[in-house]
Amino acid sequence: MHTDTMTFGPATYEELAEQLDGLLTGETDPIANLANTAALIYHGLPDLNWAGFYLMRREVLVLGPFQGKPACVRIEIGKGVCGTAVARAASVLVPDVHAFPGHIACDAASRSELVVPLVRDGAVLGVLDLDSPIPSRFDARDEAGCEALVAVLLRHLGDFAV
């Protein structure tokens, strides 16, 4: 799909999944596809102040393509919301980041967070991290919707591996 045929703005998760599939089809470069996924989500979901990826690099998460303010670069497994999602190999929904022990504050404006791991063949490749300035911005519907978006992305990551 050509990006100039797409309109960006608030969308349902079903619409976003379709747009994402179209956006990534025909391209297997992982950086390009991760970057376009971050941009689509950031502009497609309301009330986000950060959307992007941390990728597994030698047993540590390292900042990947994202939209938002500059962020901390390295996160250890088990640390913060992102490292917790890797340790559990499961999504982590945080309604109030101030109440999450060990939360890593990259942007002081962030009040709630959703992290979805990228799991392929049982291995965690990285995480999708979404931040919002609004408390309790994310719910179970967002979690399921973002897991569906990650599933689309994983189909278009080519031979990307950790």
**Least distance from C-beta 24 to ligand SME, angstroms?**
22
Tell me the two tokens of residue 36.
């376009």
At 6 the three-state DSSP class reads coil
132 in Cβ contact with 48 (< 8 Å): yes
Contact residues for ligand SME, defined by CB under 6 A? 50, 71-72, 75, 80-82, 103-104, 106, 110, 113, 129, 131
Please say which residue, 19 or 130, places its beta carbon nearer to ligand SME: 130
**Least distance from C-beta 86 to ligand SME, angstroms?**
10
Please say which residue, 131 or 142, places its beta carbon nearer to ligand SME: 131
CA-CA distance, 37 to 29, in Å (whole number)?
Answer: 12
Please say which residue, 135 or 158, places its beta carbon nearer to ligand SME: 135
**Least distance from C-beta 56 to ligand SME, angstroms?**
14
What are the residues facing 116 on neighbouring strands?
128
131 in Cβ contact with 80 (< 8 Å): no
Please say which residue, 79 or 155, places its beta carbon nearer to ligand SME: 79
CA 152, chain centre distance (Å):
12
Block residue for tokens 């900042």: 63
**Least distance from C-beta 52 to ligand SME, angstroms?**
7
**Least distance from C-beta 90 to ligand SME, angstroms?**
14
Please say which residue, 19 or 85, places its beta carbon nearer to ligand SME: 85
Q: What is the DSSP letter of 5?
A: G
From the list 44, 42, 37, the residue with the least C-alpha distance to 10 is 44
Name the residue number minimizing CB distance to ligand SME: 80
